A and B are shown apart, each in its own frame.
Chain A
Amino acid sequence: MYRSHVLVCGGTGCTSSGSETLISLLQEELKKNGLENEVAIVKTGCHGLCAQGPVMVIYPDATFYSMVKPEDIPEIVSEHLLKGRVVTRLLYVEDGGKAKALKDTDFYRLQHRVALRNCGIINPESIDEYIGTGGYEALGRVLTEMSPDDVIETILASGLRGRGGAGFPTGMKWKFASGNRGNVQKYVCCNADEGDPGAFMDRSVLEGDPHVVLEAMAIAGYAIGASQGYIYVRAEYPIAVERLNIAIKQAREYGLLGKNIFDSGFDFDIDLRLGAGAFVCGEETALMTSIEGNRGEPRPRPPFPAVKGLFASPTILNNVETYANIPQIILNGAEWFASMGTEKSKGTKVFAVNGKINNTGLVEVPMGTTLRTIIEDIGGGIPNGKKFKAAQTGGPSGGCIPAEHMDIPIDYDNLISIGSMMGSGGLIVMDEDTCMVDIAKFFLEFTVDESCGKCTPCRVGTKRLYEMLDKITKGEGTLEDLDKMEELCYYIKDNALCGLGQTAPNPVLSTLRYFRDEYIAHIVDKKCPAGVCKALLSYKIDADKCKGCTLCARNCPNGAISGKLKEPHVIDQSKCLKCGACMEKCRFGAIYKE
């Protein structure tokens, strides 16, 4: 028995900010103080509040320490763990408030954790801890008490929709693939190729609670009559890959994967396939082509994967977060799940909130929560007192939500009606310093890069869109370009082969819809209101503030600044490269851009 448990976050965010070092220092320090048999260290998955990393929670009283540095460890051990005195200076304190227990902070209080239930609480490398929190109970119940059709009915009744982006009802998917059980080879696949830039929900589940995915896939296998599963996971997620490998090995040892699980006669095994950095492989048919060992190009549908998927066999593919909900639905019942959320979007959704926001991190809230709650209450608002401009959801396939829509309840259908989409759950907050034309260009650059090249609308169309945006950010666009762009957007949407191409124009369409004035400012006034597009900026010197120290002139790489000592300087606009070096160097704040 340990009298205290120290939970140290071992997610990617905290590992990047040094949590591994903290763990080894803790071990040393505990030994030094003879506490190694009294205090246990648990390396957990993501706690969610990545911006405050590395984070540490000490139980039994759930003291929450944030931004812990190696030099803090001796004090934590000697004060907190030895003498029982909280190290107040390391406590996480919310704006102007007092330190509170983890679950009472604004960040956690408004969340509702289903998919992230175990993340940050159990040791993801221990199957016993997973079982200790009710793990594999759902699989046991399914195999011993339910028929495959019962399972599908339960999932259908829960109203669970795919968390990967499109929101297709999960139970329907399973039902389509469920015919002819036992007579044909079928596959269950898991899409863990989380490719949206700025999204890290799935990674956190895989790192923090890998067994939940294995359990859910086995349940899916039983429901449709498949004996083999594949998890397609990004090779860029080394921690997730390692923990999945450990989890699969443990599940096999415990007889929870393999032959004759729970003596039910049901066989199911899972193998990993590593993705190799192609965004298009998040599209279901491309993912399957990739598992088969080919270039990950999508295939036309129909035939749908439920009929002819991986290795030409009936296949279901769900995303990590979707799977993470399954065991809970089985254990607590479809009504429980359906009681959360909105009419057509049930349950909760995990968002990776990042960009210009104070509490960068993972947030799980019931469907129907407003953007305002997520950003202002949970996310702690925007840093440096800046003004909210837009939130981007759905990554390169999604769109921007402007301030006027901050109060609509977020669910699949509402987001589509305002021109964005749920996507996998990346939520990027932008403030007044973000140029919306530049953001559209950024996403198009991404899709141009990631287009697989198989179909012309996507391969050529996205490139042409990018070129027009580039022209506008350089101040060379015309108003006619806007109409042309819009026309091209709809053409690509209607004609591209797969989801990547069909949704690629969304960032352009949604910024055109809500921020047309910014486009017009770039085209007509030749100005970038946010001060981002370099070609449209000009650096100027405020003659009243300039002391004539010559520092800027000496630092200008192109000799564009002239002036005499102790007299105001001037910038020759025709020579200026807009590198901003002068502004960085000026000690008197005399240089400004407009």
Chain B
Amino acid sequence: MASNKKTVPFYGTEEQKEQLLKVIQELRDEKGCLMPIMQKAQEIYGYLPIEVQKIISDELNVPLEKIYGVATFYSWFNLNPKGKYEISVCLGTACYVKGSGDIYNKLMEKLDIAGGECTPDGKFSLDACRCVGACGLAPVMMVNGEVYGRLTVDDIDGVLEKYN
């Protein structure tokens, strides 16, 4: 699959850094605080670029490679920014047997990006996700948390239209 991924420069603000330092201060004495701190950091910045990982590493005095190791292990952590509209298609079993694979493929084709990528204009990013738990509505996709259920391939244009 062709990749359009471009390096997006890091735009962290001073306020964001201040927030992060405060979180680190609050949690640093708890046992096993690294993941909660990284989760908060991702909430603050929207993703976890290497620059943010460095701040955490310096503050906690934990080697950067350990933090990078944790960040790449868990699918919840994003090293790349997300689009303005985050699309995720459920590929859990219930959705899959009801045809969500076709929907995912169609979206890749329509947006001309691979899963995990963001369109060059920063508008849409596409991910596959595991069960979102709305199996009663299978197959489902989500756009910024808004759930679209009982989809067919023909519904996709209509959904994307709403965000264009």
Contact = CB atoms under 8 A, between A and B. Distances in A.
Interface of A: 12-13, 16-17, 50-53, 195-200, 203, 235-237, 273-279, 290-296, 311, 352, 354-356, 360-361, 392, 395, 426, 428, 430, 434, 439, 442, 452
Contacts of A426: 93
Interface stretch (B4-12, B14-22, B30-38, B118-126): B30-38
Contacts of B94: 197-198, 354-355, 360, 428
Interface string B42-75: 0000000000000000000000001001100111
A12 B33 CA distance: 29
Contact of B32 (A293, A352, A452): A293
A276 B133 contact: no
A442 B96 contact: yes
Given A195-B130, A293-B34, A16 B73 contact: no
A275 B138 CA distance: 24
B136 interface: yes
A428 B129 CA distance: 18
6 contacts: A13-B134, A13-B137, A16-B137, A17-B134, A278-B75, A352-B135
Contacts of B98: 355-356
Most buried by B among A197, A203, A295: A197
B35 A395 contact: no
A392 B32 contact: no
B111 interface: no
Given A198-B92, A355-B93, A452-B73, A311 B35 contact: no
B80 interface: no
Given A197-B94, A274-B36, A354 B76 contact: no
B128 to A, nearest CB: 10
B97 A430 contact: yes
Contact of A293 (B35, B131, B134): B35
B76 A277 contact: yes
Contacts of B69: 295
B116 interface: no
Given A16-B147, A52-B136, A276-B77, 12 more contacts: A17-B136, A197-B131, A199-B131, A200-B131, A275-B74, A292-B31, A294-B70, A295-B70, A354-B136, A426-B93, A428-B93, A439-B97
Contacts of A273: 32, 35-36
A231 to B, nearest CB: 13
Interface residues of B, number: 35
A452 B92 CA distance: 19
Nearest to A359: B136
A200 B31 contact: no
A352 B93 CA distance: 12
A279 B94 CA distance: 17
Contacts of B97: 355-356, 428, 430, 434, 439
Nearest to B154: A584
B136 A53 contact: yes
A355 B98 CA distance: 7
Contacts of A196: 131
A311 B32 CA distance: 9
A450 to B, nearest CB: 9
A295 B70 CA distance: 5
B79 interface: no
B135 A200 contact: yes
A50 B135 contact: yes
Nearest to A360: B136
Determine which residue in B32, B70, B91, B97 has the highest number of CB atoms from chain A within 10 A of its CB, and name it: B97
Contacts of A452: 73
Contacts of B130: 195, 197, 236, 277, 279
Contacts of B70: 293-295
A199 B31 CA distance: 31
Contacts of A294: 34, 66, 70
Nearest to B75: A277
Contacts of A236: 76, 129-130, 132
Given A197-B92, A295-B69, A311-B31, A237 B74 contact: no
A274 B149 contact: no
A203 B92 CA distance: 15
B112 to A, nearest CB: 15
Contacts of B147: 16-17
A511 to B, nearest CB: 14
Give 10 closest A-B pairs by Cβ, nearest first. A50-B136, A276-B74, A293-B34, A276-B76, A277-B75, A197-B92, A16-B147, A198-B93, A354-B135, A354-B94
Looking at B73, B75, B76, B138, the one whose CB has the most chain A CB atoms below 10 A away is: B73
Contacts of A311: 31-32
Contacts of B74: 275-278, 296
